[in-house]
Amino acid sequence: MFNKIRIIAQSAVYVSLSVFSVTSYAEDIEIYVNNKVQDLSEKPRVLIIFDSSGSMKKSVASGNYCYDDGDNVECSDSRMSVAKTAMKTLITDSENSNIDFGLMRFNGSSGGYVIAGLGESSSNLTSAIDNKISAGGSTPLSETLWEAYSYLGGKQVDYGDNVRDSKRDLNIEETIGYTKYYKSPFVPKKDASGSDILRCDNSVNVIVMTDGDPYNDSGRNTLIKALNSNASGNYLDDLAEYMHNANTDLWPTTSGVKDNATVHTIGFGGGMSTSGLQLLEDTAAKGGGVYKTAGTASELTSSLNQIFKDINASNTSFTAPSVASNNSNKVQSGEFVYYAMFYPSKTLVGKVT
């Protein structure tokens, strides 16, 4: 019989157990179970896939291309300029300072690549949006999500390897032999003793923002089909389903936890077909995320804000009751049950009785 229960929390929690009488204190500390530490200073992670196709030149108001001396040019109120402004505003918003952002874009008509890895500073992110994203090319949605899958899983750099070094984030890559690999964001940090610092939230949120139906987008169908045998049509939703599946472990090297992704989608600009919008809706549903549409600048900002709010609200971590082992006698338990229930917060709350 356990003679003590210690409840460690960051939010005030009252637990009533009929067989125990306890007085508990909320403590703004890390959770230790048998010398293992979980990092409660963690931030939710959001990887934005930014549509850089040619149709992003179109006017938000008219939905048409603009021309100068017969040349197709980006409109003054282009979808690209509106999307850039919305993204920069939200990334620098103090309310979103608790989010680690990363940024990807399409690579013309051939997949996509990472221009800023997760956790990059807001100043570097806004600079990347201004200087490393321009409109042109097709809409390779599933191919770009495949590159995101490769990045999250620490796999070989695929489409990104076809992009000049100056355009992509080299800090998230490493070369082993003659092959370039991504450094997975799921690799845990280490404490002073060299032990893994485990996260409570083992997921990355991916936001796919696009103004068009997929086009030139079948280059990784065979590989996606190998992951999800039910894949058919365009494979964007099928890859999202695999990445979010509870049995999927994008970084299996970390024992005891499964790392996966949640995929959100935004259809922007009002120019997508019914089937294209349905694909985005299916992708969010299968990927465990939120589906939104936006036809104007304010609607895009509102849609992004709603997704960020959902991410913050769902970034609640619950851990099962854990019993500390007896270090001197492994066949006996220790005298404490550690029961953690909390919302990640920087605010220290008071005594709970």
User: pLDDT tens-digit profile of 121-152?
Assistant: 999 999 999 999 999 999 999 999 999 999 99
Exposed e or buried b per residue across 95-114, where buried means at least 16 C-beta atoms within 10 angstroms of its C-beta: ebeebbbbbbbbbbbbbbbb
Alpha-helical runs (H) found in the chain? 79-92, 122-131, 141-152, 221-227, 236-244, 274-286, 297-314
DSSP secondary structure code for residue 11 in this structure: S
Question: Phi and psi for 156 in degrees, rounded to 5?
Answer: -65, 140
User: pLDDT tens-digit profile of 33-68?
Assistant: 434 555 556 889 999 999 999 999 999 999 999 999
Q: Which of 32-46, 163-177, 311-325 is predicted least confidently?
A: 311-325
Q: Write down how long the chain is.
A: 353
The alpha-carbon radius of gyration of the chain (Å, integer) is 23
**Is the separation of the CB atoms in 211 and 53 below 8 Å?**
yes
Question: If one looks up domain 45-314 in CATH, what number appears?
Answer: 3.40.50.410
Q: Is the pLDDT of residue 108 over 80?
A: yes
Across the chain, which distance is largest between two alpha carbons, in Å? 84
Q: Where in the chain are the domains?
A: 4-40+318-352, 45-314
Residue keyed to tokens 């460690």: 8
Q: Which of 94-103, 236-245, 290-299, 331-340 is predicted least confidently?
A: 331-340
Query: Are β-strands 71-73 and 66-68 bridged in parallel, bridged antiparallel, or unpaired?
Result: antiparallel
pLDDT tier, 177 (very low <50, low <70, confident <90, very high otherwise): very high
Q: Give the number of other CB atoms < 10 A from CB of residue 254.
A: 17
Q: Give the number of other CB atoms < 10 A from CB of residue 343.
A: 15
Count how many Cα atoms sit within 13 Å of the Cα of residue 65 in the half-sphere of its side chain. Answer: 11
Residue at 122: amino acid letter: S
What pLDDT, on the 0 to 100 scale, is given for residue 47? Answer: 98
**Is the separation of the CB atoms in 261 and 244 below 8 Å?**
yes
DSSP secondary structure code for residue 150 in this structure: H
How far, in whole angstroms, is CA 118 from its chain's centroid?
8
What average pLDDT does the chain have? 84
Q: Is the pLDDT of residue 312 over 90?
A: no
What pLDDT, on the 0 to 100 scale, is given for residue 337? Answer: 56
Two tokens at 70?
């017969």
Exposed e or buried b per residue across 169-195, where buried means at least 16 C-beta atoms within 10 angstroms of its C-beta: beebbeeeeeeebbebbbebeeeeeee
Residue at 12: amino acid letter: A
